[in-house]
Structure 1
Amino acid sequence: MFVEQNVPLQAHNSFGIVAKARALVRVGGEEDILQLLEDPELRDAPKFILGGGSNIVITGDVKPLVLKVEVMGRRIVDDGPRATIVEAGAGENWHDFVTYTLDEGLAGMENLAMIPGTVGGAPVQNIGAYGIELQDRFESLDAIDLVTGQTFTLDAAQCAFGYRDSVFKHTAAKEGDFGLAGRALILRVRFRLPKPWKPVLGYLDLQRKVNESGVTQPTARQVYEWVCAVRTGKLPDPRVVGNAGSFFKNPTVTPEQCQDIIAREPNIVHYPMPDGTVKLAAGWLIDACGWKGKSVGNAGVYEKQALVLVNRGGATGGEVVTLARAIQTSVYERFGIRLEPEPVVV
């Protein structure tokens, strides 16, 4: 284990914000955490877990000890008649892992292609796209306790997945509560890819691809290529334009609230949910408030998708946060809905 000092983080956050980690440790496995816990000073220091940096807004130099997760490796754990179990290290690039599963002839992850970040960050956020959430393909994960150094395994129920939510985003309020934010570092994640496979094509963008191509029974590879094409057309590449993907969660409302909004805004994009609530398209709400293409300083709203905030060059974390708050205020004043950001402000 080696502690690096004053490490530039611009390349380690997808917004491309200039900042430094005062101290950083690269975690390649359990042994690095165990060594860290043997050092009294490091053991007791506040810690910040950093994966791909695709879901954070850095507002200044990071004072806590940064644990840069670089646990690598991909393998097929089991290939049974009902499902294939595949595992990846938490430091693996998410999109590269999805591509790996297809290259191995495994279907089921294709709708989640091109989501930025790492495998370890995926269950924290319970990432999702085009009709699939991570919890739909999740089997289990291994993590390590940053206080005791003990390694443990969690199944889906223990991860308490919700919409862009999990146990890893909550802090235990009292002894006995099961909140793991800042307490556990994910090491490896396993996924269950079901057999037989059926394409998930319910989203409008994928239905358009079906209609355009005339292919009503696409292969997993075809769905993957469609998802990549749709995302490329709508979302900026973080390597070219700094961004954190979708910045706000799509809010949910009661059917009565939705009808009230429809009475005033007949064109609002909305989706009925299985639990009886209605999901509203946050991007539509932001666009309706006139924010698409607008900027605050060097932070702006992407011209092709109002749900994405971008770094137009040299943006600070403060500018991103100021822009986000202005958008929240506009949407609340017009629709009475409070938008919740997805990224963590550091």
Structure 2
Amino acid sequence: MIREFHDIPLRGRNSFGIEQRAAHLVECDTEEDVARFFAAGMPREWMVLGGGNNILFTRDYGGTLVVQRAADIRIAADEGDTVYVEADAGVEWDDLVAWAADRGLWGIENLSLIPGKAGAAPVQNIGAYGCEAKESIAAVRTYCPETRNTLVMDAAHCGFGYRESVFKHQLKGRAIITAVTLRLSRTPRPRLGYGDLARETEARGGATLHNIREAVCAIRRSKLPDPAVAGNAGSFFKNPVVAEHVAAALRMQHPDMPLYPAAEPGTAKLAAGWLIDRAGLKGYAEGPVGVHDRQALVLVNRGGATGAEVLAFARMVQQRVEERFGIRIDTEVNIV
């Protein structure tokens, strides 16, 4: 079924709780509904809206927002140790992680409690606690409104990088992700080398699949604000990746600065939260917008903030970090 809405408020459809409106919003229950909607006529401007967990509306949206409601999870292939799981784009990501954990399937447990839909996971190449979605994604199914074709792309063609993919760039506004296939394993493969994860997992009895998931959930809940209480989009900024000699020079000045390996040779990843904290901004607020007092990567709507106010505050944070460390931190959130 296709449901259409006009001049619709968006406050309940974005985790920042921003008061903006969309000229047109269409909800599609199936992949076939998506194709049927576009076959009836191409909107002048359109964009996919998932769970609204990684978006900041700074204005009313004058085009069409496409919302996918299909939310089925199924085993696409079972090859013994390796199991291929296909999830519709409208599946809540954490429901997918829980589904896998309940069936003893390893690979995405470190990505527990990340808000948003399964269809958004490849776009952002979501990651947490030393893991990224690209490590488990086998294929992504997309629909192209211009050609009206369905295309299944294997992971090698998705251009995955740190919080990057072709869906954020070359295919933005051209392809709609309708389903994601994950390659999961029945063999235990715990990854506990990030932050407090090993300690929290051990406290729950050791490295079982459910213990790791519970540990990740507990850590996230202790550090991240509930959007129902304080509007936010999770991590607003990406951890900057810099040349190794830049990281080494900063480490000489700040011996306690966290430093992580990066995928590209000759580079290292810095902790944006630490940079923001050391720039004196953790817990800092201006009017209705502030930096969360437990996780400096998170900007919060303290009540009644506009998208423009959040964006102006974010630009201030970027400027202060750059003045303090000479490092530019980029935004992770999709700004509209």
Mark yes or no: TM-score above 0.5.
yes
Instruction: Quote how far apart the aligned CAs of 1:57 are.
Output: 0.4
Distance 2:46 2:176 in 1: 10
2:303 counterpart residue number: 313
Asked if residue 243 in structure 1 is aligned to residue 232 in structure 2, the reply is yes
Does residue 1:79 correspond to 2:78, yes or no?
yes
The whole-number CA distance in structure 2 between the counterparts of 1:305 and 1:324 is 15
Which AA in structure 2 matches 1:38? A
User: Matches of residues 127-276 of structure 1 in structure 2 within 5 Å?
Assistant: 127-170=126-169, 179-210=170-201, 212=203, 215=205, 217-273=206-262, 275-276=265-266
Partners of 1:108 and 1:288 in 2: CA distance: 34
Determine the C-alpha separation between the residues in 2 that align with 1:305 and 1:20.
Answer: 30
Q: CA RMSD in A?
A: 1.5
**Which residue does 2:54 correspond to in 1?**
55
Q: For the Cα contact (< 8 Å) 1:114–1:231, is it kept in 2? A: yes
Q: Secondary structure at the match of 2:100?
A: helix
1:22 aligns with 2:31: no
Which amino acid is 1:22 matched to?
A
For structure 2, which runs of at least 5 residues remain unmatched after alignment? Answer: none
Alpha-carbon offset, residue 254 of structure 1: 1.7
Task: Name the residue aligned to 1:277.
Answer: 267
Q: 1:224-252: per-residue Cα shift (whole Å, max 9, x none)?
A: 00000100101112222211111111011
Question: Partner residue of 2:11?
Answer: 10
- Kept in 2, the 8 Å contact 1:83–1:192? The answer is yes
* Residues in 1 aligned to 2:92 and 2:260: alpha-carbon distance in whole angstroms: 30
**4+ residue stretches of structure 1 with deviation over 6 A?**
none
Cα distance per residue 1:233-283 (max 9 Å; x no partner): 011122222111111110111221112112222221111335342111000
SS in 2 for 1:278: strand
* Partner AA of 2:63 in structure 1: P
- Show structure 1 runs of 5+ residues with no match: 171-178
Distance 1:194 1:105, change over 3 A: closer
- Residue 16 of structure 1 deviates from its aligned partner by 1.0
Alignment of 1:85-104 (within 5 A): 85-104=84-103
Task: Report how many aligned residue pairs link the two structures.
Answer: 334
CA distance 1:34–1:300, change in 2 (3 Å): same
Q: Secondary structure at the match of 2:310?
A: helix
Deviations 1:149-173 (A, max 9, x none): 1111011011110000000011xxx
**Identical-residue share of aligned pairs (%):** 46
Quote the Cα distance in structure 1 between the aligned partners of 2:85 and 2:237: 30
In structure 2, distance between residues paired with 1:298 and 1:105: 44
Which secondary structure does the structure 2 equivalent of 1:63 belong to? strand
When normalised by structure 1's length, the TM-score is: 0.93
Alpha carbons of 1:81 and 1:180: their partners in 2 closer, same or farther (altered >3 Å)? same
- State the AA in 1 paired with 2:289: A
Cα distance, 1:12 vs structure 2: 1.0
